[in-house]
Structure 1
Amino acid sequence: MMAFLDSNYLITNETGLRIFAEIRNLPVVDPHNHANVKEIAENTNYADAWQLFAATDHYVWEMLRKRNVPENLITGDAAPKEKFLAMAKIFPELAGNPVYEWIHLDLKNYFGITEQLCGESGERIWNEVNAKLATDAYRPQQLLTGPLNVEVMSSTDDLIDTLEYHKQVNEAVGRVLVRPTWRPDKAMKIFAPGWRDYIHQVEERFGMKIESFDDMLEAMTRSHAFFAENGCRASDHGLEYPVYADCAFGNVNETFRKALAGKDLTQSEIDCYMGTFLAEAAALNAETGWVTQLHIGAVRDVRYSLYESLGPDVGGDVSNHLLDFTPNLVRFLNRFDGRLKVVLYCMDAIHQMTLATLTRAFGATVSLGSAWWLNDTPIGMRRQLEYIGSIDVLSNFAGMVSDSRKLLSYGSRFEMFRRVLSDVLGGMVERGQMPEQIAMELAARMAYSGVKSFWNL
């Protein structure tokens, strides 16, 4: 029997423990996250434990809502200490959800706190964490380059971003720690309410008039080149469903002008524009050797009260297993077959079956991304690894990503992944499916060396 978060945590076999011992201290390579690069560049001390553990984490917010914590104590104007103590009070009720494990892992590994977070311990833990956060060792850059052991990370950045904070971070630490990732979603999502205002921001950023998709493509090309000059290695695109990527430019220009005029678009016009935009972005990536990430299947902002009061990205998104990924993805992958690296992520576990077969069919340049969002759990990661190991090739796995806005995720989420990976491979060794030395090499490749190579990091 294991004790809570003991040395055997998530690992059920002796071979898995040996594998984990070999990979647990490998540097972290995180090709996709939502880090606040300005925060890292400024490198000021975190104000308190709430800011560090929960202020930017919608995973935590959703769990607090599930246990009837008032919104004022989650995203509202209550004092940070009130929020932290409200979280502590209900925290034992989150057992079984990975949030419970992540935060306890971070408390244990980076603050030496093994006491469980609860109502009775909340104030003691608040005070102990805050005392350490006031020291230089707990500033963002010191955490990343020290105990978190991050070798390189790729943030997520808008098409019009000027990337000055990336340069500041890298100069401060004396190496390339943070690379940008080109995410042009705001320009692509022509249906979004703020799309026209955003196009005006693109005009200002590049000093040009944008009156057609041809003009938009020129701005995209300039932005892409600027990101390349600043060390970018990948783009990222969020899609509820794959869109048709082979529309005629004349139709797309007509749709673009119609949207600029504030006229309503049909769904087919929206899909045509977005598909063409994605294809042109991918063509730029093919020229520079960037990886193209497709995050597919998030149905956004389904809880209207949350969206109306707080806006997007606050915990109101869901998955839909009925979305049909195959036809348009097949068209897209064939269009760039053999000349574009692609990573496919899905939000619903059922779609992993489809994506695993697609990555198998399209060879070494197309890979399945790590278990994403609602699958980013011990059970989700285990199921994915076991399935792709039998359908595709584990050696081609694109690697773990934190997908996080929270700095400590580089510790807890990567440890969770490496433990699950070790347990899965160790189990295969003990069932006679592979030699232990091969499993050791495979684990190191999936956790570190293969990731660096695939993403050109």
Structure 2
Amino acid sequence: MKNPIVAENFLLESEAARELYHDYAADMPIIDYHCHLPPAEIASDHTFKNLTDVWLRGDHYKWRAMRANGISEDGITGSASDREKHRNWAATLPYAMRNPLYHWSHLELDRYFGVTDLLGQDNADAVYDRCTEQLQQENFSVRSLVERMNVKVICTTDDPVDSLEHHQALGQANFSCRVVPGFRPDKAIMIDADGFVNYMEKLGQSADKEIGSFDDLCAALRSRIDYFHSLGCRVSDHGLNELFAETCSPEEADRILSKRLRGEEVSPEEARQFQTALLIELCRIYHELEWTQQFHLGALRNNNKRILRNLGTDAGVDSIGDFSQARGMSLLFNSLDNTDQLAKTIVYNLNPADNEVMATMVGNFNDGSIVGKMQYGSAWWFLDQLDGMEKQMNALSNMGLLSRFVGMLTDSRSFLSFPRHEYFRRLLCNMFGQDIERGLLPDDRQWIGQMVQDISYNNAKNYFNFPA
């Protein structure tokens, strides 16, 4: 069956929306300022052996859907052949209607492989063979896939102990897309997590400094931040349940860390105090270096312990959490704003109940120094779909300035995920088009078209200090 989802005017429900998208948004480049793409595969210009290798391996969104469709784990992540795993996904996709995977998957098949038919059980093998054959061609390597989508910057997510050797290699590569690291120090912050003491040893080794005190830890992290900065890093990212409304002196943080390094357990209150103290120290460094700090808040992770034991993290058993957010954000941002050390900030929420909370909180701390300094970030994870994107943009429109929004990102581990930027842009243009048609906005296509281009690309280009 011919696929209506890849049609020219998909999601564009008015003449105004169609003009805004095709004349202003469609050809804008992409800055993917937060993703989880493996830099090793970009550096080596990796090629994929088949469609399952590039499309299903590591994609816990699809794993989750297949489990819901009654597919056994063996046929998803286990010993089944790659062809059989693809067949299982093809058999699942028709049942995924109204799930964002239905739209994303068909966009990906068309935009990369030219497959314009709806995928299902009957044509699973034909699609698998066609796409696998193309993946063996030279213009289907990782870098070719990136360049095909007109991606200008990719910002990966990297641990402080990472060597960044692949980013070093990419700095010398003939590649039109700039690949820069992103600093993700969660393992240094989560003092009550299993493996924290061992991680302190690894961090000390990478920074060539033994960590025995809070000052040592801060110095080690500063050393790694400087190294990341030298390789083009201009963003940090923190994936936390919530920001805590605690106060903690450096001396108290030192006592808590020393206790944990001795192998003793810390109380929940001590863990919150330590997290707050270290986060404030890190945020001061981000401000000094003119980085952008990102906070991904609200995920309740690894709920199914059996799957966690068998597959590890990021296996499709995370969910939305119901954490308190406003008080912790207020404390952290005030602690930094009071000393003029609040960096550019993007906050993302996973619980849709927090949309207006997030949008209003970031607005409290804009100071006129930077256009759009405090950003309510794009719809994330479970909200990264038609309804979630629209609600995020409506909350931002109502509480702030959508026109200054830095736009979309993929937050993905897949090299086929860049059509999500197209999906976002189509929704954005449709929202503006609807308002024009309803008489809620003036029919000024040139001005609104410029706003669409800014949200699609220009705002991010001007906001981040990524090296040229």
Shared fold per TM-score greater than 0.5 = yes
Task: State the alpha-carbon separation in 2 of the partners of residues 438 and 360 from structure 1.
Answer: 24
Q: Which has the higher mean CA deviation after the structures are superposed, 287-296 or 437-446?
A: 437-446
For residue 356 of structure 1, what is the aligned residue in structure 2? 359
Aligned 8 A contact 1:429 1:439 in 2: no
Task: Quickly say closer, same or farther: Cα 1:263–1:416, change in 2 above 3 A.
Answer: same
Aligned 8 A contact 2:5 2:103 in 1: no
For residue 447 of structure 2, what is the aligned residue in structure 1? 438
The DSSP-based 3-state class of the residue aligned with 2:172 is helix
Q: How does 1:402-441 map to 2 (within 5 A)?
A: 402-410=410-418, 412-432=419-439, 433-434=441-442, 435-441=444-450
The DSSP-based 3-state class of the residue aligned with 2:173 is helix
1:59-113 deviation digits (Å, cap 9, x = unpaired): 1111111111111121212221111111112221111111111111111111111
- Give 5+ residue unaligned stretches, structure 1: none
Aligned 8 A contact 2:303 2:318 in 1: yes
For residue 298 of structure 1, what is the aligned residue in structure 2? 299
Aligned 8 A contact 1:186 1:198 in 2: yes
Q: What's the TM-score, normalizing by structure 1? A: 0.96
Report the identity percentage. Answer: 30
Task: State the alpha-carbon separation in 2 of the partners of residues 4 and 182 from structure 1.
Answer: 37
The DSSP-based 3-state class of the residue aligned with 2:306 is helix
- 1:335: Cα distance to partner? 2.2
1:109-148 deviation digits (Å, cap 9, x = unpaired): 1111112111110100110001000001000011112x11
Aligned 8 A contact 2:167 2:181 in 1: yes
Q: Which amino acid aligns with 1:127?
A: D
Task: Quickly say closer, same or farther: Cα 1:139–1:456, change in 2 above 3 A.
Answer: same
- 1:3: Cα distance to partner? 3.4
Q: How does 1:34-433 map to 2 (within 5 A)?
A: 34-145=36-147, 147-174=148-175, 177-244=178-245, 246-321=247-322, 323-337=323-337, 339-363=342-366, 364-410=372-418, 412-432=419-439, 433=441
Q: Which amino acid aligns with 2:285?
A: L
Task: Tell me the number of residue pairs that the alignment of Structure 1 and Structure 2 aligns.
Answer: 453
Q: Which has the higher mean CA deviation after the structures are superposed, 74-83 or 170-179?
A: 170-179
Q: Which amino acid aligns with 2:457?
A: Y
For residue 449 of structure 1, what is the aligned residue in structure 2? 458
Task: State the alpha-carbon separation in 2 of the partners of residues 177 and 4 from structure 1.
Answer: 31
Q: Which amino acid aligns with 1:427?
A: Q
Task: State the alpha-carbon separation in 1 of the partners of residues 177 and 119 from structure 2.
Answer: 36
- 1:398: Cα distance to partner? 2.7
Task: Quickly say closer, same or farther: Cα 1:108–1:400, change in 2 above 3 A.
Answer: same
Q: Which amino acid aligns with 1:14?
A: E
The DSSP-based 3-state class of the residue aligned with 1:237 is strand
Q: Which amino acid aligns with 1:75?
A: T
- 1:175: Cα distance to partner? 5.1
Q: Which amino acid aligns with 1:36?
A: P
Q: Which amino acid aligns with 2:334?
A: N
The DSSP-based 3-state class of the residue aligned with 2:89 is helix
- 1:176: Cα distance to partner? 5.6
Aligned 8 A contact 1:367 1:397 in 2: yes
The DSSP-based 3-state class of the residue aligned with 1:367 is strand
Task: State the alpha-carbon separation in 1 of the partners of residues 459 and 6 from structure 2.
Answer: 28
For residue 19 of structure 1, what is the aligned residue in structure 2? 20
- 1:174: Cα distance to partner? 4.4
Aligned 8 A contact 1:298 1:318 in 2: yes
Task: State the alpha-carbon separation in 1 of the partners of residues 406 and 376 from structure 2.
Answer: 6
Task: State the alpha-carbon separation in 1 of the partners of residues 139 and 246 from structure 2.
Answer: 49
Q: Which amino acid aligns with 1:452?
A: K
Aligned 8 A contact 2:294 2:345 in 1: yes
The DSSP-based 3-state class of the residue aligned with 1:151 is strand
Q: Which amino acid aligns with 2:400?
A: D
For residue 6 of structure 1, what is the aligned residue in structure 2? 7
The DSSP-based 3-state class of the residue aligned with 1:120 is coil
Task: State the alpha-carbon separation in 2 of the partners of residues 151 and 76 from structure 1.
Answer: 36
Task: State the alpha-carbon separation in 1 of the partners of residues 141 and 5 from structure 2.
Answer: 29
Q: Which amino acid aligns with 1:343?
A: I
Aligned 8 A contact 1:211 1:257 in 2: yes
1:371-417 deviation digits (Å, cap 9, x = unpaired): 0011100111011112211211112213211000001111x211110
CA RMSD of aligned residues (A): 1.4
Task: State the alpha-carbon separation in 1 of the partners of residues 98 and 41 from structure 2.
Answer: 32
The DSSP-based 3-state class of the residue aligned with 1:173 is coil
